[in-house]
Structures are given as structure tokens and as C-alpha cells.
Amino acid sequence: MATRRTTGSRPRGPTSTNPVDIAMDAEAEGRPLDSPTLRLLGKQERLIDAEIELARDTRFANRIKAVRDIAIGLGAILVLAAAGWMVWDAAHADELVLEPWTAPPAFAANGQGGEVLAAQLGDRIRVLQQKGEIEATGVAKAAGGQSTELKLEIPQTGVSIGEVQRWLRRTLGHQTVVGGSVVQLADGRLSLTVRPGDGEAASFEGAPTELPALLDKAAEATLRRSDPLRYAGFLVVGGKLDEAAAVVEPLTRRGAPRERANAMANLVNIRNYQGRLHEAVAVARRSVALDPNAFAAVGYWAGAEYALGNEEAAHDGALRMVRLTAADADRSGVSQYLNEENPLLWPAMVADQRADTGAAIAGYVSLAELARAWGNPGRARYWDYLRSLAWLQAHDVAAARAANPGPPPQNQGSLGEALLIYRVAAAAQLEMGNLAQARANAAQAVALQRQYGAAQALQFQHGDGPRLAEILARAGDRRTAHALVDATAMDCSRCVRARAVLAAAERDWPRADRFFALTTRLAPSVPQSWSAWGQAKAARGDLAAALPLYRRAQRAGPGWGDPLKFEGDALLAQGKAGAAVKRYAIAAERSPKWGALQLAWGDALAKVGRKDEAVARWKAALGCGLTAADRAAVKARLARP
């Protein structure tokens, strides 16, 4: 009997007793499976199927558990992160929290309830903050120069996330809670009390009609407590310099180095306004030594040096401020206004010091626009006057007159502003060759400064005084010029330059050379001294000595047209008309409306045989500011066949 082979199975004998073989044979032959062994086999099959299903369920359950564990972990992380953020936010909070006031029931009936009074106080504080920003050189608490945030909070019952956050802010942060009350006295008058933080309460009394004025006083008391440097800035804007100094001076002696440096910078600003320049410079140097990277300290150190006539130190400080601004240095403690002004101010100052008139003018325009946007027309006019002077330095009289804002509205100007007006007028008349009028305007400025006190007189002596002395020396009033500069300090480069210009006007050449050598040694980065020295050399006929001085001025002030024009004059006098034409062309790029330059350029072009171009230059000169003598000279040249 042949042995059967089942596909995919091993060979078996004819009488196999293996239940699996028997089941397979029965299935193949179509016979029923009905034996205990085969039933057991069926049970085993069902058991295996159940075990497989159970395994599948276990794997699914494990996956569900894993997802659940991950979700729980993520939730815990989120809770910890939220808690951490709440703690960090609380630690960095700088808030002024206004709580509703207590007030008589009649106030609420008239729409002057506790919440309304607190909101009105907040409105007044915001106004004070904005005014104080303009003169605040540092902010006591707020990082990045942002104003202290004002919030009106209504107390709640029970515990909530908001209540927890408020508790954290008051515990960990710089939060000043301001409460207040209004009480009707027996005589019908009001007693208003404000309680800023843990400080001493301040009370004010007045008639019911004086409630707005009482709230104003409460706002000032609150700002002084919560934000003393901005409050000092508000006092400066109002001209209350002694009060501002009294607020700031204690802050220079306590706190972290940066806070003390910022307070010192604020004091420097006040001392400058007071005319106490030597004190300002001393405090400024201390502030920079305390924190060399304190934005406000470095800026007001540069300003103090500039006011004292230390031009090289002022130039170095201005360059440092340009770099700090570009590098986005730490500006903690710098007011919002200065954070907006500094990127405009310091490039303009550097441009002004280097006589780069185009860049200076653009900077002054932006600074004036910023001041107007902040509601300070006096500061805006100051930048407009400087812009007018910059146009005069570029010899564009028409643009200078257009930029000049004129006198301020009645009772809104200051002595310093009036002095600037006369100085602008004197410089413009000198440019036009109207020497008598230039002398008269300068004399008015000199007479005006006598109204200053002793401190302001020192500021005049180092600032406008030397500048006016140069105008007077060139306009022929040397006696008044001597009175302005003979007693000035010999370490004030601006003052020494005025002495040198006066000596040159008197043709005292040895004395002029001595003073020019000193001022260029004190301030080698200032181009005006080098150029004026070159003019003095040329005036005595020493053109060979003048040329290197003009070129040194060009290196110090590459954006200035004067030393280029004067070099062209010297070259033309030496018979080098072709070289002179090239210098005049470059100078005209910087001072295109300088009539004397256009006249000289035309003369040089005529010398090299370029008559048509010469005529064009002479005609252009007629459209510029010209002295009477130069205008007559231009007309004579154009009248030639």
C-alpha cells in the first residue's frame, strides 16, 4: 500500500495517531471530527485565538497608558512653566496700581465715585510722566526706559489666579499700590489724601471747586514717590531746577552702581541747566567711572564736556554714544524719550562737531519733529535754531532764514533762547557782509547775557561767549571780543580758538599762532581750528603753510566745504587754476549755495579757458547769498564781452 504525502507536511505512516494528522485527514476526506481528542484540539485553537486577542488588548492598553503618562507629564511641565512665568513676571513688574478711593456717597451720586477719582489721578500721572520723560536722563526702576505701568484694580473676594498674580507682583516686583480718600470737612471744604505705597501719606485741602487742583497735587506726590527721576524731569521742564536737584541728589548715593550712575546723569543734566558746568563735568566723570556702559551716564558726560568747551572729550563721548546706540547697548534706566532721541541726537552732534553740515541739518530736522511730537515746542525751537546755524555754516543764507523759527510766542521763551536768536541773526548778517548789523546783533546778545546769574554767566562764558567773540572779531568790534574771551580758561578749546581768531583779526601773528597751536592740541578732531589757522596763514601771505592746515581740516571734517574752498583760493593765488577748479567743485557739493565759492569757481574756470562754464558759475552766484562787494564783482565779470 503506497504511502500518502500531504503537501507542506512531513511523511507519516498509514496508521498515524497524531491528532493533528487525524484532523487533517478527516478534513481532507470530508469526514466529521467527533472524538475527545479532536474536541480538545478545537478548544486549544479557541484558546490560542483568545490569547492572541488578549495580547492585542494588552498592547493597546499599554499604548493608552503611555499616551496618558505623556499627557500628565506635559501638563505638569505646562503648570510649572506657567508658575515660573508668573514668578518671573511678578519679579520684573514695575507697576503703579491705583485702587478705588473712598469718597462721600454724594460724590458717587454726582459721578465722582472712588473708581472715577482713581482713574482721574491715573490720567494726571500719565501726563506728568510724559512731560518728565523729556528731561529724565534715567529711570529709577523701569527697564528699557518704559514708563511705569498704571493699572486700576478693583479688590475681589475669594482666591483666584488673578489674586495670586497680584500677590506675587506685590511681593516680588516693584509695585506701588496707591490708595486715597476724599473727606468733606465740617466747614464744607475737602481734604484729599493720597497714600503711595508704604510711604507717608500726603494730604491737601481746598474748596470743592478746587478738586482738580487737589488731584494735580496728589499726582505729583505720587510720581515723586514712585518714579523720582521722571518727577525730577517734570520739575526741570517747569524750570524748578533746585527742587529737581533736591529730588535727585539722594539717589546718587544709594542703590546699585547702574542706578547711581543714572541718577548722577540726571543730576548732570540739572547742573548744566543751572550753569554749574564744573560740577556737571565732575559728576559726569564719576558716573561714567561708576558704570562705563551706562547709556545715560555716557551721554550726559559728553554733553557736560561740550558745555564746558572741552571739544575733544565731547567729541569722544559723542562717538561712544553713536557706538552704544548702534550696538543696542543696555539701556536700563534710560527714559523712553531719550531712547527715541539718542539715535538722532548723537550722529547729529558728531556731524556738527565735524562741520558735516548736511548730516547735522538732517539730524536737527528729525530732533525738532520728535520734540514737537512729545509736546515740547521750546526744545523743538532749539533744534531749529541749531539747524539755522548749520545752514549758515554751509553759507546758505536763504535756507537759514527759512529754518529760523523766529522769536517764541510771548512768555514762552527763555534767556538762552533769546540769546540764540541774536546769535543766528549776527551770523547771518556777517555772512552777508553787513558788519554793522552783525555787531549790533552780537552786542544785543552780550547785553542779554548780563541778565543771567553767576552760574549762567559761566555757561555763557564757555558756550555762546566765544562764538560771539569770533563774530565780533571778524565784524570789527575787537574790544567787546576781548571782553568776552580774555578771562576764559586756557583748557577750553572753544575759548582758545576765539582768542586765536581775535589775534589773527588784529594781525598779531605770533599770538595767533600760539593760540591756534594750543587749540588744535586740545581738540585735534575739530576741523574749525585747523581751517581758521590756515586762513590766518593765508592772510599773512604764507600760502605754503596754509595748504597743509586746510588739508588737515578736510581730514577732520570731510563733509565741510570751507577748507576745500580756502585750499582752492590758495591754489588759485599760486597760479594753479586747474587744481583750484577741482577743489571748488568738491566744495560746491557740500555748500552749493555759497555765493563767494561760485564766484571764485567761475574765476578759476575763466583762468583755464572754460569761459562758458565760468559764466554759468557767475550767474549761479547771483542766486546765492553774496556780500555787496561780491555781488558787484559778479556783475562786473558778467558785463565783460
| Residue 6 domain-assigned (yes or no) | no
**In 3D, which of 234, 252, 246, 256 has the Cα closest to residue 332?**
256
Is the alpha carbon torsion for 489, 491, 497, 500 positive or negative?
positive
Residue type, 269: N
Q: How far apart are CA 532 and CA 536, in angstroms?
A: 6
pLDDT at position 95 is 65
Q: How far apart are CA 354 and CA 445, in angstroms?
A: 26
DSSP output for 546-599 = HHHHHHHHHHH-TT-SHHHHHHHHHHHHTT-HHHHHHHHHHHHHH-TTBHHHHH
Per-residue pLDDT, averaged over 219-248, amounts to 89
638 contact partners, CB below 8 Å, separation of at least 6:
615, 618, 619
pLDDT at position 165 is 46
Please answer whether residues 391 and 364 qualify as being in contact, where contact means their C-beta atoms are separated by less than 8 angstroms. no
pLDDT at position 98 is 81
38-65 residues labelled b (16+ CB within 10 A) or e (exposed): beeeeeeeeeeeeeeeeeeeeeeeeeee
Q: How far apart are CA 562 and CA 573, in angstroms?
A: 17
Residue at which a domain ends, from 211, 238, 265: 238
Q: How far apart are CA 151 and CA 486, in angstroms?
A: 58
pLDDT at position 375 is 87
Per-residue pLDDT, averaged over 500-514, amounts to 97
Same domain for 552 and 518:
no
**In 3D, which of 423, 458, 457 has the Cα closest to residue 440?**
423
Q: Determine the length of the chain.
A: 641
pLDDT at position 581 is 97
| Residue 178 domain-assigned (yes or no) | yes
Q: What percent of the chain has pLDDT over 90?
A: 46
pLDDT at 141 over 90: no
Same domain for 593 and 513:
no
Per-residue pLDDT, averaged over 401-405, amounts to 91
Please answer whether residues 397 and 428 qualify as being in contact, where contact means their C-beta atoms are separated by less than 8 angstroms. yes
Q: How confident is the model at residue 172 (pLDDT cuts 50, 70, 90)?
A: very low
| Residue 176 domain-assigned (yes or no) | yes
pLDDT at 580 over 80: yes
Same domain for 222 and 111:
yes
Task: Specify the pairing of strand 190-196 against strand 149-152.
Answer: unpaired
Q: For residue 350, give the DSSP letter.
A: H
pLDDT at 300 over 90: no
Strand order in the sheet with 174-184: 149-152, 94-98, 174-184, 190-196, 202-206
Please answer whether residues 413 and 429 qualify as being in contact, where contact means their C-beta atoms are separated by less than 8 angstroms. no
Q: How far apart are CA 496 and CA 529, in angstroms?
A: 9
Residue at which a domain ends, from 461, 496, 523: 523
pLDDT at position 160 is 41
Query: Residue 93: phi, psi to the nearest 5?
Result: -70, 140
Q: How confident is the model at residue 200 (pLDDT cuts 50, 70, 90)?
A: confident
pLDDT at position 333 is 57
| Residue 630 domain-assigned (yes or no) | yes
pLDDT at 360 over 60: yes
pLDDT at position 268 is 87
Same domain for 572 and 452:
no
pLDDT at 353 over 70: yes
pLDDT at position 54 is 63
Q: How confident is the model at residue 535 (pLDDT cuts 50, 70, 90)?
A: very high
Q: How many CB atoms lie within 10 A of CB 220?
A: 18
| Residue 473 domain-assigned (yes or no) | yes
pTM given for the model:
0.70
User: Rg of the chain's alpha carbons, rounded to an integer?
Assistant: 42
Residue at which a domain ends, from 203, 238, 273: 238
The number of domains in the chain is 4
More confident residue, 641 or 117: 117
pLDDT at position 104 is 86
| Residue 543 domain-assigned (yes or no) | yes
- Which residue has 549776527 as its cell numbers? 426
pLDDT at 167 over 60: no
Pick from 53-57, 195-199, 493-497: least confident: 53-57
Same domain for 506 and 626:
no
First to last CA, the chain: 147
Please answer whether residues 77 and 156 qualify as being in contact, where contact means their C-beta atoms are separated by less than 8 angstroms. no
Same domain for 160 and 76:
no
Q: How confident is the model at residue 327 (pLDDT cuts 50, 70, 90)?
A: confident
Same domain for 207 and 193:
yes
609 forms beta bridges with none
Q: How far apart are CA 473 and CA 460, in angstroms?
A: 17
Q: Give the CATH number, domain containing residue 490.
A: 1.25.40
Residue type, 382: Y
Please answer whether residues 621 and 602 qualify as being in contact, where contact means their C-beta atoms are separated by less than 8 angstroms. yes
Tell me which range, 77-86, 224-233, 560-569, is most confidently predicted by mean pLDDT.
560-569
pLDDT at position 164 is 44
pLDDT at position 4 is 43
Q: How far apart are CA 295 and CA 280, in angstroms?
A: 17
Same domain for 441 and 567:
no
pLDDT at position 196 is 81
Q: Which helix (H) or strand (E) is 183 found in, with range?
A: strand 174-184
Per-residue pLDDT, averaged over 112-137, amounts to 82
Tell me which range, 163-172, 194-203, 282-291, 410-419, is most confidently predicted by mean pLDDT.
282-291
pLDDT at position 131 is 77
| Residue 71 domain-assigned (yes or no) | yes
Q: Diameter of the chain by CA atoms?
A: 152
Per-residue pLDDT, averaged over 500-515, amounts to 97
Q: Give the CATH number, domain containing residue 123.
A: 3.40.50
Same domain for 560 and 466:
no
Pick from 130-139, 293-302, 350-359, 510-519: least confident: 130-139
Q: What is the mean pLDDT of the chain?
A: 82
Please answer whether residues 120 and 180 qualify as being in contact, where contact means their C-beta atoms are separated by less than 8 angstroms. no
Same domain for 453 and 431:
yes
More confident residue, 307 or 428: 428
Same domain for 610 and 493:
no
pLDDT at 314 over 90: yes
Q: How far apart are CA 383 and CA 354, in angstroms?
A: 17
Q: How confident is the model at residue 53 (pLDDT cuts 50, 70, 90)?
A: low
Same domain for 535 and 499:
no
Per-residue pLDDT, averaged over 353-362, amounts to 95
pLDDT at 144 over 90: no
Tell me which range, 4-8, 75-79, 336-340, 383-387, is most confidently predicted by mean pLDDT.
383-387
239 — alpha (psi -120 to 50), left (phi > 0) or beta? left
Q: Under DSSP, is residue 205 helix (H, G, I), strand (E, B) or coil? A: strand
For residue 63, give its domain range: 47-91
Residue type, 377: P
Pick from 47-56, 346-355, 444-453, 574-583: least confident: 47-56
pLDDT at position 415 is 76
| Residue 572 domain-assigned (yes or no) | yes
Query: Residue 177: phi, psi to the nearest 5?
Result: -95, 125
pLDDT at position 278 is 84
pLDDT at position 3 is 42
- Which residue has 521763551 as its cell numbers? 413
